[in-house]
């Protein structure tokens, strides 16, 4: 089945130690998103890629970076995690502005829960 | 800027009964999409239903239906014959049709199903 996959599901890191979360998709979607979600809150968009074009949200801290080496993979790098970065990180995809239906629906992965010690 | 408001932080319903979750939004756009997403505890966020603003007919998906009132900017979700598996956080979301790939989420409604 086509899907959005996130690894690992749980990640423990130390304060200040760089960490990378990964996302892959078999949907062949043009757009990939990274969200941060804290307990009982709505997801907060950090950034998204439309193909290779990177779109950063104005309030996303510089501590968060992203890479998209190809259509299928997208990475979230947290350069120096702080205690406040402990959260669920969600990856999502959408088709983007292409022909065909359902261009706008976002499909989410299961998330990676990050714990910072 | 677009905003989405879910005024019910928590709702509960008896199993097999019907419940309605409310959502209002603010936009100056005329062409947009609205979504309801479901996020069960510690599980994946999944799409429940979507509505295209230019379609007057309310979307339905099995036991889930919406009441879309474009003039009032209201987009409520009705769940019929509630089941234990419907227990989740429900997020209402908005997206303009052109020029922006972003979703604007509401703050969510936590739905509890009472056996």
Q: Which residues does chain A have with pLDDT short of 70?
A: 1-2, 98-101
Chain B nearest CA to A60, separation (Å): 14
- pLDDT at position A76: 97
- pLDDT at position A100: 57
Cα separation, B47 vs B105, in Å, equals 13
Parallel/antiparallel/unpaired status of strands A107-108 and B74-79 = unpaired
- pLDDT at position A39: 87
To which residue do tokens 């996020």 refer?
B39
- pLDDT at position B30: 87
**pLDDT tens digits along B29-48:** 888 999 999 999 878 899 99
In this complex, how many residue pairs, one in chain A and one in chain B, have their CB atoms less than 8 Å apart? 44
Residues of B in Cβ contact (< 8 Å) with A2: none
Cα separation, B58 vs B67, in Å, equals 6
Chain B nearest CA to A88, separation (Å): 10
Q: Which two tokens stand for residue B87?
A: 């227990």
- pLDDT at position B42: 77
Q: Which two tokens stand for residue A19?
A: 């960490």
Interface probe for A, chosen from B3, B53, B103 (most Cβ of A below 10 Å), is: B103
Residue A70 makes CB contacts below 8 A (sequence gap 6+) with none
- Asked whether B77 and B23 are in contact (CB, 8 A), the reply is yes
**pLDDT tens digits along B55-112:** 889 999 999 999 999 999 999 999 999 999 999 999 999 998 776 778 999 999 999 9
- pLDDT at position A42: 92
Q: Do residue A31 and residue B101 have CB atoms under 8 angstroms apart?
A: yes
Q: Do residue A45 and residue B103 have CB atoms under 8 angstroms apart?
A: yes
Which among B50, B101, B105 has CB closest to A43?
B105
| Dihedral class, residue B74 (left if φ above 0, else alpha if ψ from -120 to 50, else beta) | beta
3-state secondary structure A34-88: EEEECCCCCCEEEEEEECCEEEECCCCCCCEEEECCCCCEEEEEECCCCHHHCEE
- The helix/strand/coil state of B21 is strand
């Amino acid at each position: 089945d086509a899907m959005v996959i996130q690894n690992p599901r749980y990640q423990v890191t130390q304060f200040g130690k760089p960490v990378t979360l990964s996302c892959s998709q078999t949907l062949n979607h043009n757009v990939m998103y990274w969200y941060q979600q804290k307990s009982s809150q709505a997801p907060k968009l950090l950034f998204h890629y439309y193909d290779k074009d990177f779109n950063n949200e104005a309030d996303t801290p510089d501590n968060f970076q992203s890479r998209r080496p190809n259509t299928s993979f997208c990475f979230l790098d947290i350069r120096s995690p702080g205690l406040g970065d402990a959260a669920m990180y969600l990856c999502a995809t959408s088709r983007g502005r292409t022909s065909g239906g359902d261009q706008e629906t976002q499909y989410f992965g299961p998330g990676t829960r990050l714990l910072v010690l | 800027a677009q905003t989405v408001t879910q005024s019910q932080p928590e709702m509960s319903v008896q199993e097999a009964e019907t419940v309605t979750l409310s959502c209002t939004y603010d936009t100056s756009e005329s062409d947009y999409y609205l979504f309801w997403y479901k996020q069960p505890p510690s599980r994946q966020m999944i799409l429940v239903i979507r509505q295209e603003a230019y379609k007057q007919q309310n979307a339905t998906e099995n036991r889930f239906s919406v009441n879309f009132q474009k003039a009032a900017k209201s987009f409520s979700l009705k769940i019929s014959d509630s089941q234990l598996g419907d227990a989740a956080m429900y997020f209402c979301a908005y997206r303009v049709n052109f020029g922006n790939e972003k979703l604007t989420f509401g703050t969510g409604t936590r739905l509890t199903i009472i056996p």
